[in-house]
């Protein structure tokens, strides 16, 4: 996120104080350029930068300011708070010089907050009311339809009652936009049992915390409202209008050609039609240097998610953010209570393992290598802030900027290391959010107070994991799940001498406690042995199990058998 990465070259470049919250922090494009070496030296191949076009500055009621880039006001201008067109061109050029690719985040679903025709008139080029979805406007004027900053509806909402679940009504017949304060939740809080489940009043099944995109199982789910409803007060663009449809395509083509962009990350993907998305991707694939779009499809529904890569045998987008796995991994490793699958998946890795296997064997996806695996992102709590027990109370000492909560990845770094072992080695593209490499736990926190420290153990671990990925040709290698158990997940990548076995768990045990993994690690070829490439940890291989004396993850690779004494203390008993 440009506003939170580095202030170099900006109005606040001499201010190293932390900055978070809903206001501008004054990070710049020049700031990212100044720290490209920092990113490259962690071993990453690409950078993903949040939207850079001119945003509505703000404030907009409780939503704050447009520092994040997702409130487009002028599509053809670079936001001066971030820098200039020349700054963006320099950033892309220097990224390429560092041997990395540049992925630009864009929004085609909506634009800035709009509460009147006057607000809309400031949007370039989509400044007419006919360009905006106005579901259920009835006899209201556009100003009346859009004037609210809270208390929806109107405008008709793409999230919540009437879209993700059934819309309830007050006794006088008017719609209750909050469903009596429950929205589309199936539980009132973050405690999940038969007593807290809403039961007959719940819109969805007890394994879902709340209903969202693609959850057709939820009572009252309405795909039409999902597509043409608004995100709160963000004016929803009507891509069925020829001017809007062509205008968005022209703008995307302008951005990728003018700035030599390598890839696109597409915000709020499932709130647009497959047909429109297909057109945009086909346009970019027809270029001399074809460009992939990676869509944000925030869904737990595997078939719905996959339909945005291929639908009815037709290609849609090249890749996707892999939310079906992310929504299992966050509670699975961290015990995170606030995800859509948290009611069942907290500290239970079987759900993650099953989804991994289904993605591989279902045939629903065209290319698993173009799925972006995550443990957090710019819209989620950082992995270091993902507690297990919510509420005021203990905060781990290392979490200077932590939200209140206890346990989970917030309190136990070993859980983060296990989660990262899954993240960096699972099939797909691993994505790490800025600040994770410094142990940051605060939502959308600035990075400069950490001084881009290359010596932090988190930075060094990510560097080592990326080096193993590269040396063992993991990127596009095959994957097999060998053990799925509530507290353990084992999978392998590749075959032959490059094969890697990844042993992870979500246990917090006293040092020296044994951890058993019940799967068959194959006998190494003659003259070779299995060795933990991460920490050189001792383990024992028997016929149908591997025993370790640590809860740290193991990343086992084949290496030449060394002389006794030089290696025997840190490798398996063969």
* One-character DSSP codes across 175-215: EETTTTTTTTBSSSSS--STTTS-GGG-SS-TT-SB--TT-
pLDDT at 543: 85
Q: What is the DSSP letter of 400?
A: T
CATH classification at residue 515: 2.60.40
CB 98 within 8 A of CB 42: no
Give mean pLDDT, residues 331-350: 98
Q: Which residue range forms the structural domain that includes residue 505?
A: 479-560
Q: Kindly state the average pLDDT of the residues 494-516.
A: 94
As a whole number, mean pLDDT of residues 342-361 equals: 98
pLDDT given for residue 152 in this prediction: 79
- The dihedral built from the CA positions of residue 265, 332, 386 and 226, taken in this order, carries a sign that is positive
pLDDT at 87: 98
What pLDDT score does 510 carry? 85
What pLDDT shows up at residue 563? 58
Tokens of 505: 């768990």
Q: Is residue 522 part of a domain?
A: yes
Given pLDDT bands bounded at 50, 70 and 90, which one contains residue 512? confident
242-258 helix and 274-285 helix, angle to the nearest 10 degrees: 30
Neighbouring residues of 180: CB distance < 8 A, sequence distance ≥ 6: 168
Q: What is the pLDDT of residue 460?
A: 98
SS (H, E, C) 361-374: HCCCCCCHHHEEEE
Please provide residue 496's backbone torsions phi and psi, each rounded to the nearest 5 degrees: 65, -145
Q: 293 - beta bridge partners?
A: 264
Alpha-carbon torsion angle 158, 187, 149, 268, nearest 10 = -30
Lowest mean pLDDT among 167-176, 287-296, 368-377: 167-176
> 214 pLDDT exceeds 70?
yes
Q: pLDDT (tens digit, 9 = 90+) per residue, 144-158? A: 999 998 887 889 999
SS3 at position 262: coil
Residue 346 lies in a domain: no
Residue 485 parent element (H or E): strand 479-485
The span from the CA of 209 to the CA of 538, in Å, is 40
In a domain, 519, yes or no: yes
Band of pLDDT at residue 321, cut at 50, 70 and 90: very high
For residues 306-335, give the mean pLDDT.
98
Name the E strands within 262-377.
263-266, 292-295, 310-311, 314-315, 319-321, 371-374
* pLDDT of 143 strictly over 80: yes
Nearest to 554 by CA among 504, 515, 507, 480: 504
Residue 193 has a pLDDT of 95
Q: Average of pLDDT values for 329-333?
A: 98
Strands 528-532 and 554-560: antiparallel
Query: For 89-98, 118-127, 160-169, 387-396, which range has the lowest pLDDT when averaged over its residues?
Result: 387-396
| Residue 250 placed within a domain | no
Is the four-CA dihedral 5, 443, 461, 466 of positive or negative sign? negative
The verdict on residue 492 lying in a domain is: yes
As a whole number of angstroms, the distance between CA 8 and CA 512 comes to 46
Residue whose token pair is 């807290």: 196
Classified as helix, coil or strand, 243 is helix
Please determine, for residue 568, whether its predicted confidence score (pLDDT) is greater than 90: no
Q: Is residue 523 part of a domain?
A: yes
Q: Domain count of the chain?
A: 1
> Does the pLDDT at position 569 exceed 50?
no
Question: Is 538 within a domain?
Answer: yes
pLDDT of residue 399: 34
Tell me whether strands 429-431 and 479-485 are parallel, antiparallel or unpaired: unpaired
Q: What does the pLDDT read at residue 392?
A: 54
Q: What average pLDDT does range 132-153 have in this prediction?
A: 93
> Could you count the other beta carbons within 10 Å of the beta carbon of residue 478?
12
The pLDDT of residue 91 is above 70:
yes
Over range 328-355, report the average pLDDT: 98
DSSP three-state, residue 427: coil
Give the integer Cα–Cα distance in Å for 538 and 523.
17
100 is a domain residue = no
pLDDT tier, 532 (very low <50, low <70, confident <90, very high otherwise): very high
pLDDT tens-digit map of 373-407: 999 999 999 999 999 998 754 333 333 333 468 99
Average pLDDT along the chain = 94
Residues forming beta bridges with residue 372, ordered by sequence position: 321, 429
Task: Determine which of 27-41, 171-185, 490-504 has the lowest per-residue pLDDT on average.
Answer: 171-185
């Amino acid at each position: 996120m440009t506003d939170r990465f580095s202030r170099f070259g900006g109005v606040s470049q001499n201010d190293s104080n932390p900055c978070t919250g809903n206001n501008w922090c004054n990070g710049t494009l020049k700031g990212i350029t100044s720290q490209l070496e920092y990113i490259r030296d962690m071993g990453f191949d690409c950078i993903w930068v949040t939207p850079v076009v001119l945003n509505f500055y703000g404030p907009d009621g409780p939503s704050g300011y447009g520092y994040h880039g997702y409130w487009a006001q002028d599509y053809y201008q670079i936001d001066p708070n971030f820098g200039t067109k020349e700054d963006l061109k320099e950033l892309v050029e220097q990224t390429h010089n560092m041997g990395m690719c540049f992925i630009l985040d864009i929004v085609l679903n909506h634009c800035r907050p709009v509460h009147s025709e006057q607000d809309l008139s400031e949007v370039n080029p989509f400044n007419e009311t006919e360009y905006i979805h106005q579901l259920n406007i009835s006899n209201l004027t556009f100003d009346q339809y859009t004037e609210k900053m809270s208390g929806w509806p109107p405008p008709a909402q793409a999230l919540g009652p009437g879209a993700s679940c059934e819309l309830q009504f007050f006794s006088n017949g008017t719609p209750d936009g909050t469903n009596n304060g429950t929205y589309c939740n199936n539980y009132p809080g973050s405690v999940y049992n038969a007593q807290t489940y809403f039961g007959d009043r719940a819109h969805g099944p007890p394994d879902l915390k709340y209903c969202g995109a693609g959850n057709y199982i939820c009572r009252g789910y309405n795909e039409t409202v999902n597509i043409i409803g608004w995100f709160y007060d963000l004016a929803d663009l009507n891509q069925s209008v020829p001017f809007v449809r062509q205008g968005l395509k022209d703008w995307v083509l302008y951005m990728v050609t003018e700035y030599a962009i390598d890839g696109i990350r597409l915000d709020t993907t499932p709130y647009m039609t497959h047909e429109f998305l297909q057109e945009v991707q086909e346009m970019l694939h027809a270029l001399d240097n074809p460009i992939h779009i990676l869509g944000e499809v925030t869904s737990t529904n595997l078939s719905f998610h996959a339909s945005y890569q291929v639908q009815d045998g037709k290609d849609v987008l090249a890749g996707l953010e892999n939310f079906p796995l992310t929504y299992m991994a966050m509670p699975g490793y961290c015990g995170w209570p606030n995800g859509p699958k948290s009611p069942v998946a907290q500290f239970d890795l079987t759900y993650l393992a099953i989804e991994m296997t289904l993605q591989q064997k279902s045939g629903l996806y065209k290319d698993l290598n173009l799925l972006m695996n995550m443990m957090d992102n710019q819209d989620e709590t950082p992995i270091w802030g993902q507690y297990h027990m919510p509420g005021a109370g203990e905060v781990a000492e290392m979490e200077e900027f932590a939200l209140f909560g206890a346990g989970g990845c917030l309190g136990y770094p070993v859980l983060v290391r296990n989660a990262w072992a899954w993240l960096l080695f699972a099939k797909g593209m691993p994505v790490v959010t800025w600040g994770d490499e410094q142990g940051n736990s605060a939502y959308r926190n600035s990075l400069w107070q950490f001084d881009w420290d290359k010596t932090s153990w988190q930075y060094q671990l990510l560097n080592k994991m990326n080096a193993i990925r590269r040396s063992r040709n993991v990127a596009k290698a095959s994957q097999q799940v060998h053990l799925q158990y509530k507290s353990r997940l084992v999978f392998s990548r590749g075959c032959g001498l490059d094969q890697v076995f990844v042993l992870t768990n979500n246990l917090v045990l006293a040092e020296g406690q044994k951890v058993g993994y019940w799967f068959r690690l194959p006998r190494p070829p003659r003259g070779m042995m299995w060795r933990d490439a991460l920490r050189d940890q001792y383990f024992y291989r028997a016929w149908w199990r591997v025993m370790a004396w640590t809860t740290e993850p193991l990343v086992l690779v084949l290496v030449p058998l060394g002389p006794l004494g030089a290696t025997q203390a840190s490798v398996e008993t063969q």
